[in-house]
Structure 1
């Protein structure tokens, strides 16, 4: 029960609650889902549409229906013998507004607050204005401007007996220590109650007593008048009041600031560069227990069966966190209801993996949430022969680099300098503290350390490393050395010794060994006037003499661990922001490869490499999730599948791009104030065309004005986000609204009704040209997800065509009623192949999902425990087929899918996404010997092909559908 057979991800929010989800349980069960997979259920910021901005870990979100709503939902699931997995967010909490009481506590009491060590705050900032304070970068404009404009106000909350600072929706507490100064001229008796208070924990209860008295006083006419007068004395409407308010604010445990200051000055860890999400110190036992208490109770009571951990790479110690969580779940499992005390608790993590980066064996997890599989199957859809010509075409058209690595490095440098500068400073300061511990390294300057760290981060090939006992593992070393060599080539000779030392401090072998000081050699090494080559030789010669040497004090070990953590908590957000949120919006060879968890520089994946990935997963993490769509994807799975088809026709696509660019030249907007000259610009225009080709619904007619306008609105929202994320001609920090509006006007102009004889006519015609290839790609990735080793995850609504774009488009409401009706019709009408003639409405995809999940339920041991057996494909079109078998005991399931089908479809005039049987020629799959000359039944069609010995010809196996799921027994009658 606890290890899912399949999951369906549901995005919960105030407009789709537990009760709404409960109404879909019977549909989910009929589809073949074993576990509901929920977005975060802890209390989030009011109105949150995603739930990742938790403000209270201790309560089930009341906007979702609260705990009672969750219980009703789980009761419905249990009635269908289904389980539930919840998304847990240990890395960060929402800190905007005033709903997070833990955050309000540290704003009120500073470093002595009960929750001061819950958040990852640097209370010892080198900036005197932030020492012992928290930067509060929530102002919409500069502090002085907002203060002058009266936007920042002192108010009194009569219900709570508290003074607060209000700024629009944000509320900030006033320290009780300052109540005396606020009240002394207007309510001296009340002021004396707060006199002598300190921030020490022992004084905080006395402050509560004083505020209770103040609340009573405020309820009197005299008290209300006095407090109103005190508040008015701090009004920003006049110079005296404004000065008094400013001085009051300066005494608080926070510093109000313009949101733009965060990138350079924030002194607490954020989620990436989002200043409304504060990093948690979940590595501390008390924080771990407090932030997971609700989840543990729900698990113990049998209300949840497993967890998905969000952004594990943000944590200080991911390995230790996962091990601790597994241990706690195992301890609690014996207290669960008896009928649920079976099997291993399901536990997966959200983790982005680079090619060749392994999931660590000692984390005690079931695997990842499936971005690695999504990357593999996505790359598999691309024809490698299109890589070079498409890159050349992109470079020629856009004027940008053909090499994604160039864009990635530029984006990393930009993110470090503009978005995460404060985080880079903090990592460099941590290393400087180590350097100051010993005479041999104390002259390593902050600036030089910062340069070295920056180069390492810029060239880091993975999200982060995971040192054990302060030392890098063999896997870590493999990736760190890549960054080291690239940094070494980029740095000046005088910095190379510092690079070597930093490499040791960040987990190199021998990093704790004491070294002998050699001042003269050190002086010679750092002499900037020396010859470059001699500097390099000197640096190389001194490496062993300048190794980490902080074993002389107990604090140095702590400093080193802190530096390693800060470095890892820097490489991770830089990779995410630079690659996913910047470079992927700049590089447009084919945007189907610009996806979360993917490397756009890796264009395609061979069948053999795909098989190797599946074999590795089957061996090490057989219960890992398999995803092809998520709440974070940039393009729906079917958008990517269709765009991938362009890789098969690179020349035709390049000519189409040039033709459309010429056709739409009159609609470009010329911006006199813009040095680039026109909007949207060549690169943005080319990526727009790819997006339109990818997301145009198969059933949309250019004559449907309302439908075209709705699509244009959706694409416009994507376009705005894409332009800002690219950070080239506009951005989130400094939006160029004139440019953005011109881009929107261009989009709506080329899709205007009067363009039906122009671009609006050509676009759907081209979509029709590539849509069958896209559909076959979709069927391929769907079937591979449902039959590969692991737990297939279905993102809400994607059982039909998924032509969504980046969030919030991919989180739009799902029409479950339509899916429910079509599912019932499909079951009555028979195999998915019966719907192939209506493939444009997506029902055939729904049928593939339903029948594949039915087989997983029918032969669960085959897919849960069965071996993965790659099958050889022979014949004229062997490159256009992928095949494998799942095998346990005497049972086999054979999976076959058409791929790279465009050339095979060229002569097919049926209009179906199906290769004519005659075109396959002698192409055949070589079956396992046990299946030789046996009849196999297709779960996706009435077909029952028989092999010729061990050879199963595609002209027989793929006669009714472009994919096949074969067993020796047919679909059981219900």
Structure 2
């Protein structure tokens, strides 16, 4: 079942199944067809997002029990709502003590039952890691924490197992082969059991079964014999008190606990990006796939789930094979979309069995068409003059990707260099290519990659798009590092495209070549994500409205022609793809971005204001790293964050309590921004002095006693906020009417001025939204035109946004086939102000709608009226769904002044035959 519209809910300990159940009537009344749920399978305790799953076969107990879940599902069904689940196939949460599969691997190493489930390199170049798993969860150096007593052996009386615990939080099971070192010789029965544990290898292949039996005997012995318990406690205490003795036990294990800072160099398991406690799964293995999807398939079969959003599809070894398997396994047809970030020149793979992507591309498209491209040069000059930053974004992105590969993701790069060298040595013609030179070339290729990844498969050659992107990356890499012999790049190009073994008797193993290519594909995506989105986007602050997931900040706006082309392509190829404007991943809320977009209409005023604010706030606070703190680039970001996220209720006279609460949010976003930028501070090495200086600037700006700054800032903030409302409504109308299936992120039916996560996962006041919807439905059921004008006049409460949402979701329900499968055609606009509007038509058979939105509210503020600007409407009588105003269109073009008399958008439905 294809959804009409989804509503994203973020589940966590403070928003549970029972809370969602209570929302069912409200969501249905709003016009939603499906709840789009964040992951709710069992995750790490305290998980704020659910992406760190520890058990695919059970629900997260922090959200409620099985009955609570059933009650929620029943409430949804009773309200006519289906469910879409955000599903995570790429990785699991590790660390802690909650993932039994991970604990099994720690206990038994490469011989563990589940060793093959995780993407672990047991043959690391670091010999001390041979057959060991690096566990980088210590907050300081291993020796420091060991001597400080932060690592302790504990006995599990129920299981009969022994483990080292780090900080009483991370469980690291001891291999039973070495229990003898802990059980000691002070008690005869413990000594005999220790000898039996040491003899476990003689029980192959039933070693694990025998170990479990011995553990049960140990548990019984400790339970029944006080003297044995005392002897074991004494032995454990002796080891815990003698760090050298404890180290001797630890050295025998299949794991090596280490300082988190060494992960970038030595880690030998694939992670989700560079997050140590999210370990990659080998979902290409049938056993892993069956296990991970068992509960999901049951819920689909029972009719609880109608679809899946597949998280981080690019992390999988073979995304197409995964999607084929998913399609073949589901017990009934479901709606499937993938989280896929596409470059502007890139298309979603046509052979993927999905309805489309999750809408990051649309978020950037809808915002981009509201940005006034004519202001680019002025914005660039303002940024350069204020900050001194003149480096192009492409250079910043390249440098950031290099930095990520040389630091946080160096270990993965080292492994790729090693594997490439092993392939090269298979043929005398390439045997002299050393690991170091191949690794250097791979780093350059990855840094130049124009897309997240390519998609070569074991059973298919690379396609034209893959070859184009790979060829481009290799060509750029050659140009940048001319010291590398060109034949090295030739070899890698052939290896990474699969051409190296295209002919018989190539001298190379096809399997090893393709495995190298596919491993590199899993690497370039995280490098792009961490290098660009999570580093470069926080360094290049020219206009942060454009620094969004999947965005390209160097493209200052989107032309109407590009907007229409993208929509027409989606209508033809992916008519049911998800459309998003806010998500749990967006770095700023949809209305914060729309508000900032209004700055592109008034670039001179923006340039003047930032200079005034800086003079009011900046004082010399001493020198940090040779420059004034904070630097001008971070300061420039700060002013944009304030304008975009300034709460509507604080636009007039903010009180001290409100300012204090808001300041905490802004400071948290600033701290994250500075650490992600990795220039003056970072997550691995926080610079407290610099961060404090930035926090001090924010405190000064948001001090209720700072009348100078606030009296200068607030009038401009009020003006931009009012202009932003028009952009917000235009953006909303585009999402609810363009080809695709719209998603509303929780709470965004009212204004969404949130900052980067975790700010965008704050609890939503649903009670106020329910009350607002009731009043709105009463108001628009009467005389809609005056009601909408009244709501627009009082835009501050956000109810005008909710009204537009409810009306257009109602229209989608009435004309479901049109919105699901209708054609798309750009509307012709004429006149000297035609660039200030945008229009398109959707049609299916006799059904048709026309959508018009006004752009550039700042220009219209300075130069009101539409003059002779017109739209070429098809002949007939048309009624605006939003205001119920009717327009009679003859053969002549229709004036936009009449269409936009009440709102900056109109959705026209033909109300009578022509």
TM surpasses 0.5: yes
Q: What does residue 345 of structure 2 align with?
A: 356
Q: What does residue 464 of structure 1 align with?
A: 453
The 1-side partners of 2:829 and 2:348 are apart by 30
Q: What does residue 287 of structure 2 align with?
A: 286
- Do the aligned residues in 1 keep the contact of 2:498 with 2:517 (CA within 8 Å)? no
- Please state whether the residue corresponding to 2:282 is helix, strand or coil: coil
- Please state whether the residue corresponding to 2:206 is helix, strand or coil: helix
Of residues 490-499 and 645-654 in structure 1, the stretch that sits farther from structure 2 once superposed is 490-499
- Do the aligned residues in 2 keep the contact of 1:398 with 1:683 (CA within 8 Å)? yes
Q: What does residue 537 of structure 1 align with?
A: none
Q: What does residue 153 of structure 1 align with?
A: 152
Aligned Cα root-mean-square deviation (Å): 1.4
Q: What does residue 622 of structure 1 align with?
A: 575
The 2-side partners of 1:233 and 1:581 are apart by 46
The C-alpha deviation readout for 1:709-763, integer Å capped at 9, x for no partner, is 211111011000001001001110100112111211211112212212x111111
Q: What does residue 871 of structure 2 align with?
A: 925
- Do the aligned residues in 2 keep the contact of 1:112 with 1:200 (CA within 8 Å)? no
Change beyond 3 A, Cα 1:200–1:763: farther
The match for 1:846 among 773, 780, 802 is: 802
Q: What does residue 522 of structure 1 align with?
A: none
Of residues 351-360 and 470-479 in structure 1, the stretch that sits farther from structure 2 once superposed is 470-479
Q: What does residue 960 of structure 1 align with?
A: 902
Shift in Å at residue 513 of structure 1? 3.1
The match for 1:886 among 807, 817, 842 is: 842
For structure 2, the residue ranges without an aligned partner over 5 or more in a row are none
The 1-side partners of 2:247 and 2:390 are apart by 50
Q: What does residue 336 of structure 2 align with?
A: 347
The 1-side partners of 2:103 and 2:204 are apart by 16
Q: What does residue 403 of structure 2 align with?
A: 414
The 2-side partners of 1:682 and 1:492 are apart by 35
The match for 1:394 among 380, 383, 394 is: 383
- Do the aligned residues in 1 keep the contact of 2:17 with 2:68 (CA within 8 Å)? yes
- Do the aligned residues in 2 keep the contact of 1:394 with 1:402 (CA within 8 Å)? no
**Residue 484, structure 1, aligned to residue 474, structure 2:** yes
- Do the aligned residues in 2 keep the contact of 1:426 with 1:566 (CA within 8 Å)? no
Q: What does residue 669 of structure 1 align with?
A: 621
Q: What does residue 178 of structure 1 align with?
A: 178
- Do the aligned residues in 2 keep the contact of 1:786 with 1:792 (CA within 8 Å)? yes
Shift in Å at residue 605 of structure 1? 0.5
Change beyond 3 A, Cα 1:225–1:471: same
The 1-side partners of 2:641 and 2:174 are apart by 50
**Residue 369, structure 1, aligned to residue 358, structure 2:** yes
Q: What does residue 195 of structure 1 align with?
A: 198
The 2-side partners of 1:116 and 1:401 are apart by 49
For structure 1, the residue ranges without an aligned partner over 5 or more in a row are 334-343, 516-548, 908-915
The 2-side partners of 1:731 and 1:200 are apart by 48
Shift in Å at residue 514 of structure 1? 6.1
The match for 1:813 among 741, 746, 763 is: 763
Of residues 40-49 and 464-473 in structure 1, the stretch that sits farther from structure 2 once superposed is 464-473
- Do the aligned residues in 1 keep the contact of 2:97 with 2:103 (CA within 8 Å)? yes
- Do the aligned residues in 2 keep the contact of 1:871 with 1:883 (CA within 8 Å)? yes
Matches within 5 A, 1:853-864: 853-864=809-820
- Please state whether the residue corresponding to 1:935 is helix, strand or coil: strand
Shift in Å at residue 423 of structure 1? 0.9
Superposed structure 1 runs of 4+ greater than 4 Å apart: none
**Residue 939, structure 1, aligned to residue 881, structure 2:** yes
Matches within 5 A, 1:357-756: 357-468=346-457, 469=459, 471-509=461-499, 511-513=501-503, 549-551=506-508, 556-666=509-619, 668-671=620-623, 674-700=624-650, 701-756=652-707
The 1-side partners of 2:408 and 2:484 are apart by 28
**Residue 778, structure 1, aligned to residue 720, structure 2:** no
Change beyond 3 A, Cα 1:946–1:372: same
- Do the aligned residues in 1 keep the contact of 2:596 with 2:640 (CA within 8 Å)? yes
The C-alpha deviation readout for 1:826-876, integer Å capped at 9, x for no partner, is 111113343111011111001110000000001111111211121011112
Instruction: Output the TM-score relative to the length of structure 1.
Output: 0.91
Shift in Å at residue 416 of structure 1? 0.8
The 2-side partners of 1:675 and 1:402 are apart by 20
- Do the aligned residues in 2 keep the contact of 1:112 with 1:201 (CA within 8 Å)? no
The 2-side partners of 1:785 and 1:38 are apart by 20
- Please state whether the residue corresponding to 1:608 is helix, strand or coil: helix
Shift in Å at residue 201 of structure 1? 4.3
- Please state whether the residue corresponding to 2:576 is helix, strand or coil: coil
Instruction: Output the TM-score relative to the length of structure 2.
Output: 0.97
The 2-side partners of 1:698 and 1:253 are apart by 56
Shift in Å at residue 327 of structure 1? 1.4
- Do the aligned residues in 2 keep the contact of 1:874 with 1:924 (CA within 8 Å)? yes
- Please state whether the residue corresponding to 1:9 is helix, strand or coil: strand
The 2-side partners of 1:901 and 1:494 are apart by 52
- Please state whether the residue corresponding to 1:902 is helix, strand or coil: helix
